[in-house]
C-alpha cells in the first residue's frame, strides 16, 4: 500500500536536490566552460520519486566544432599578425628596398653620363652603401622575427605539455569516477573541456573517446599528445633544414613533425615561417647575391679611372654548408657560386651512402646523383678535405646569408671600372664604311687574354667574304656585306662586338688595349643595363624580383587576414550553437526554479495532510 507520508518525503528530498542543482546552474552562469546540469527523476512505485543522477547538457560534436574553430582562428590570427608585420617591413618607404634600389641605379647612370668626374662616383659609392645597409636592415628584422618565433615555439610547446599532462590526469579521475558510480563527475568533465579549449588555442588536434571515458588526443600525422592516462610530451630542437629555426619533435627525439602541425598559435607560427618568412629571406638573399655577382663580374671586366683592372664593388656571398649532427666521417664540404643567375634560393641536402653522393632540392624534393667536385644549378660542390662515411649528410644554404653579408668592399671612387679594357678603330685609309661597335668583354682570361699582348687586326677579305684576324689571335670572321651590313654579332675569345657596314677589300679595323680610360663609359653602360637584365634565375630583373617578393608576402598577408576574419565568424557561430545547448539560460532556470518551488510546496502540503491523517488515525485507535 502506498504511504502518502513517504511519498511526500521522497518528493521533498528530490525536489530539494533539484533546486540545489538549478541553483548551481544559476551560480555558474558566468563560469567559462560550465555545462548546464539537469536532475534526472525516476518513479519509485508506491514510494514516490528519486533522483537517479545529474546529466550535463553536452554535445560532443558541438564542443569539437568550437575546439576546431578556436584552433583555426588562433592559427589564422597568428599568421595574419606576423604576415602584416613582414609586409609593412617590405613596403614601408622607410624600410623598403625598392626606393634605394632605384636610387642606386640612378647613381650608376650618373657615372655613365660623367665617367671622368669624381663627385658622381662618390655618390654611387654612397648609394651602394645605402643599398647594402637597407638589405642588411631588412634581413636583420627578418632574423628578429625568426628569433621571436623560436622563443614563442619553446613557450608554446612547454604550455602544450602542461595542458596534456592535466588532460591525462583528468582522464584518470574521470575513468575512476565512472567505474565507481557509473557516472563521471560533471565538474571533472567540465574541467577537461576547459583544458581542451585552452589546448585548442595552442595547437590543433583530434579526439577519440575510450570506453572508460578517457580521451586520446592526437595531432596531424597521428602524433599522440595524450593516450588515456599518459601524456606524451613534445620537444623542440634546431631544424636540420634551417639552422636558424626551431623544429618540433614528438615521441622520437629530433624527428621533425613540424610540417604535420596545424591549428592553434603553434600551427600559425609554423605556417608563417614555412610559407612566408623563410621564402622571403631566401628571396631577399637571392636578390643581394645576384646584384653582388653581376656588378662584381662587370667590374672585373673593366678598367678603373687610372687604367687598372677593375675590382669587386660588393662583397661576395659565401654559401653556408652545415654538416649533419650525426655525421661520423671527416669530410669537409664547400660550396661556391659559379653562376648566380642559375640560383633559385632553394636549400639543398647533400647525402653520402657509402659509395655515391646524392643532392636533394629541399623545396621541390627532387634528387639527383652528383660526383664532387661537381657544378650544378649555378654552384660548385667540393670535398675540401677528409673522407665521408655512409650516412653522412650536409645542408647547403646558398643565399640565406646573402642579404646579411651584403656589403660594399670598395672605398675609392676612382676604382669604379667605367671603361672597357680594349678599344676599336677603323683605319683612316679605309675606303668602305665597315665598322665595329657594341664591344663587350665576357672574359679577360680566354685567349687572347687581356690586356692584349698585341693589337688584333681585322682585315676585310672581299673574295672570301670575311675578316682575317691577325695579331694576338689568328682566325677569321665571316662577313657578307650584302646580308650583314645592318649588323652581325661576332666573337674573338672573350670579346663580343657587332660588325656592320660595307667594307672594301683590304679595309682594316684594329682592336687594341684602352690606354685612355678616364672618359670611357662603355663598361659603365653595361652596368646600367644590369637594371633591366633578367639576372635573377635568368627570368626577372632585380626590381621585378623585389616586386615579386613584396607581392608574395602581401598576398599571403591578405589571405591570412581573410582566413582570420572567416574563422572568427565560424567560431562565433559554433560557440552560439554550443552555448544554446550547454550554456545556462537564466530565464529557463528561473522558470524551472518556480516549477520546483510549486512542486515543493505541494509536496510539503502532502506531507502535512498525510501527517494530519496519521495523527487522526493514532487518536482514533487510542480511544
Per-residue pLDDT reduced to its tens digit, 432-471: 999 999 999 999 999 999 999 999 999 999 999 999 999 8
pLDDT (0 to 100) of residue 5: 64
Higher per-residue pLDDT: 14 or 192: 192
Higher per-residue pLDDT: 252 or 151: 151
pLDDT (0 to 100) of residue 178: 84
Contact 258, 242 (CB under 8 A): no
Pull the grid cell for residue 164.
596534456
Q: Which residue has the cell 676585310?
A: 460
Run of H or E including 425: strand 422-426
User: Which three-class secondary structure state does DSSP give residue 330?
Assistant: coil
Reported as a pLDDT band with limits 50, 70 and 90, residue 250 is confident
Which of 86, 83, 156, 201 lies closest to 563 in space, CA to CA? 83
Q: What's the whole-number mean pLDDT along residues 239-267?
A: 90
Beta-bridge partners for 385 = 332
What are 402-418's pLDDT values in tens digits? 999 999 999 999 999 99
pLDDT (0 to 100) of residue 437: 96
pLDDT (0 to 100) of residue 114: 96
Residue 102, Cβ neighbours under 10 Å: how many?
13
User: Which three-class secondary structure state does DSSP give residue 408?
Assistant: strand
pLDDT (0 to 100) of residue 255: 84
Residue 33, Cβ neighbours under 10 Å: how many?
17
Reported as a pLDDT band with limits 50, 70 and 90, residue 43 is low
Q: What percent of the chain has pLDDT over 70?
A: 87
pLDDT (0 to 100) of residue 2: 59
Contacts of 573 (CB under 8 A, 6+ apart): none
Which of 54, 20, 16, 40 lies closest to 603 in space, CA to CA? 16
Pull the grid cell for residue 484.
650583314
pLDDT (0 to 100) of residue 161: 96
Higher per-residue pLDDT: 97 or 609: 97
Candidate from 176-180, 389-393, 402-406, 519-523 with smallest mean pLDDT: 176-180
Distances (CA, A) of 146 to 3, 208, 249, 278, 286: 77, 35, 18, 9, 18
User: Which three-class secondary structure state does DSSP give residue 501?
Assistant: coil
pLDDT (0 to 100) of residue 586: 67
Residue 230, Cβ neighbours under 10 Å: how many?
13
Beta-bridge partners for 309 = 303
User: Which three-class secondary structure state does DSSP give residue 355?
Assistant: coil
Distances (CA, A) of 594 to 48, 127, 200, 207, 399: 21, 82, 39, 40, 75
Contacts of 340 (CB under 8 A, 6+ apart): 289, 290, 292, 293, 294, 378, 535
Cα 231 to Cα 96: distance, rounded to the nearest angstrom: 46
What are 44-75's pLDDT values in tens digits? 776 666 666 666 767 788 888 989 999 999 99
What are 150-177's pLDDT values in tens digits? 999 999 999 999 999 999 999 999 999 8
Beta-bridge partners for 491 = 496
Run of H or E including 332: strand 332-337
pLDDT (0 to 100) of residue 301: 96
Average pLDDT for the chain: 90
pLDDT (0 to 100) of residue 623: 58
Cα 85 to Cα 277: distance, rounded to the nearest angstrom: 11
Residue 585: CA count within 13 A, CB half-sphere: 12
Candidate from 271-285, 313-327, 607-621 with smallest mean pLDDT: 607-621
Higher per-residue pLDDT: 38 or 314: 314
Run of H or E including 229: none
Cα 482 to Cα 479: distance, rounded to the nearest angstrom: 9
Residue 507: CA count within 13 A, CB half-sphere: 26
Q: What's the whole-number mean pLDDT along residues 391-403?
A: 95
pLDDT (0 to 100) of residue 34: 72
Q: Which residue has the cell 629555426?
A: 245
pLDDT exceeds 60 at position 575: yes
Reported as a pLDDT band with limits 50, 70 and 90, residue 119 is very high
CA terminus-to-terminus distance, the chain: 25
Radius of gyration of the chain from its Cα atoms, rounded to whole angstroms: 40
pLDDT exceeds 60 at position 1: no
pLDDT (0 to 100) of residue 208: 92
pLDDT exceeds 70 at position 131: yes
Q: Residue 451: is the preceding peptide bond cis (ω within 30°)? A: yes
Q: What's the whole-number mean pLDDT along residues 527-536?
A: 96
pLDDT (0 to 100) of residue 422: 96
Q: Which residue has the cell 683590304?
A: 506
Cα 326 to Cα 389: distance, rounded to the nearest angstrom: 11
pLDDT exceeds 60 at position 377: yes
Distances (CA, A) of 538 to 532, 534, 545: 12, 5, 11
Amino acid at each position: 500500500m502506498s504511504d502518502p507520508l513517504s511519498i511526500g518525503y521522497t518528493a521533498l528530498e528530490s525536489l530539494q536536490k533539484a533546486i540545489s542543482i538549478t541553483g548551481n546552474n544559476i551560480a555558474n552562469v558566468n563560469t567559462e566552460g560550465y555545462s548546464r546540469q539537469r536532475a534526472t527523476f525516476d518513479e519509485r512505485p508506491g514510494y514516490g520519486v528519486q533522483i537517479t543522477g545529474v546529466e550535463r547538457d553536452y554535445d560532443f560534436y558541438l564542443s569539437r566544432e568550437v575546439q576546431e574553430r578556436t584552433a583555426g582562428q588562433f592559427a589564422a590570427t597568428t599568421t595574419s599578425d606576423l604576415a602584416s608585420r613582414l609586409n609593412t617591413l617590405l613596403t614601408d618607404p622607410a624600410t623598403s628596398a625598392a626606393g634605394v634600389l632605384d636610387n642606386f641605379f640612378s647613381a650608376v647612370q650618373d657615372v655613365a653620363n660623367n665617367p671622368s668626374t669624381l663627385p658622381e662616383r662618390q655618390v654611387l659609392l654612397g648609394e651602394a652603401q645605402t643599398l647594402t645597409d637597407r638589405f642588411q636592415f631588412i634581413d636583420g628584422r627578418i632574423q628578429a622575427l625568426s628569433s621571436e618565433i623560436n622563443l614563442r615555439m619553446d613557450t608554446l610547446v612547454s604550455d602544450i605539455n602542461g595542458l596534456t599532462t592535466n588532460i591525462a590526469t583528468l582522464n584518470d579521475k574521470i575513468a575512476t569516477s565512472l567505474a565507481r558510480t557509473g557516472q563521471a563527475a560533471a565538474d571533472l568533465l567540465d574541467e577537461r573541456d576547459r583544458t581542451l579549449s585552452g589546448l585548442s588555442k595552442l595547437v590543433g588536434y583530434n579526439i577519440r573517446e575510450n570506453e572508460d571515458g578517457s580521451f586520446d588526443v592526437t595531432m596531424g600525422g597521428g602524433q599522440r599528445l595524450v593516450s588515456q592516462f599518459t601524456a606524451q610530451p613534445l620537444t623542440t630542437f634546431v631544424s636540420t633544414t634551417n639552422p636558424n629555426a626551431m623544429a618540433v619533435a614528438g615521441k622520437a627525439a629530433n624527428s621533425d613533425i613540424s610540417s604535420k602541425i596545424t591549428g592553434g598559435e603553434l600551427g600559425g607560427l609554423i605556417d608563417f615561417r614555412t610559407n612566408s618568412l623563410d621564402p622571403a629571406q631566401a628571396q631577399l638573399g637571392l636578390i643581394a647575391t645576384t646584384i653582388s655577382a653581376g656588378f662584381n663580374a662587370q667590374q672585373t671586366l673593366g678598367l678603373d679611372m687610372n687604367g687598372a683592372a677593375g675590382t669587386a664593388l660588393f662583397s661576395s656571398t659565401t654559401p653556408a654548408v652545415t654538416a649533419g649532427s650525426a655525421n661520423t666521417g671527416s669530410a669537409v664540404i664547400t660550396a661556391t657560386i659559379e653562376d648566380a643567375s642559375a640560383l633559385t634560393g632553394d636549400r639543398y641536402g647533400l647525402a653520402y651512402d657509402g659509395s655515391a653522393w646524392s643532392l636533394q632540392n629541399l623545396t621541390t624534393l627532387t634528387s639527383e646523383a652528383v660526383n664532387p667536385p661537381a657544378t650544378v644549378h649555378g654552384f660548385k660542390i667540393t670535398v675540401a678535405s677528409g673522407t665521408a662515411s655512409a650516412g653522412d649528410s650536409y645542408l647547403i644554404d646558398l643565399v640565406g646569408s646573402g642579404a646579411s653579408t651584403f656589403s660594399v668592399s670598395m672605398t675609392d671612387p676612382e676604382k669604379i671600372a667605367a671603361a672597357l679594357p680594349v678599344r676599336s678603330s677603323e683605319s683612316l685609309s679605309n675606303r668602305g664604311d665597315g665598322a665595329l661597335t657594341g664591344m663587350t668583354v665576357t672574359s679577360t682570361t680566354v685567349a687572347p687574354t687581356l690586356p692584349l699582348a698585341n693589337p688584333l687586326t681585322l682585315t676585310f677579305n672581299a673574295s672570301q667574304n670575311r675578316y682575317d684576324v691577325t695579331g694576338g689571335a689568328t682566325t677569321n670572321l665571316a662577313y657578307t656585306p650584302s646580308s650583314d651590313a645592318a649588323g652581325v654579332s661576332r666573337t674573338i675569345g672573350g670579346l663580343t662586338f657587332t660588325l656592320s657596314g660595307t667594307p672594301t677589300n683590304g679595309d682594316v679595323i684594329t682592336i687594341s688595349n684602352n690606354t685612355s680610360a678616364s672618359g670611357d663609359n662603355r663598361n659603365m653602360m653595361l652596368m646600367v643595363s644590369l637594371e633591366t637584365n633578367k639576372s635573377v634565375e635568368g627570368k626577372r630583373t632585380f626590381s621585378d624580383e623585389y616586386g615579386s617578393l613584396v607581392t608574395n608576402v602581401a598576398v599571403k598577408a591578405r589571405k591570412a587576414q581573410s582566413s582570420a576574419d572567416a574563422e572568427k565568424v565560424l567560431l562565433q557561430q559554433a560557440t552560439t550553437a554550443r552555448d544554446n545547448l550547454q550554456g545556462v539560460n537564466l530565464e529557463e532556470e528561473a522558470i524551472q526554479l518556480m516549477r520546483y518551488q510549486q512542486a515543493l510546496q505541494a509536496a510539503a502540503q502532502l506531507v502535512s495532510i498525510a501527517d494530519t491523517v496519521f495523527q487522526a488515525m493514532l487518536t482514533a485507535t487510542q480511544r
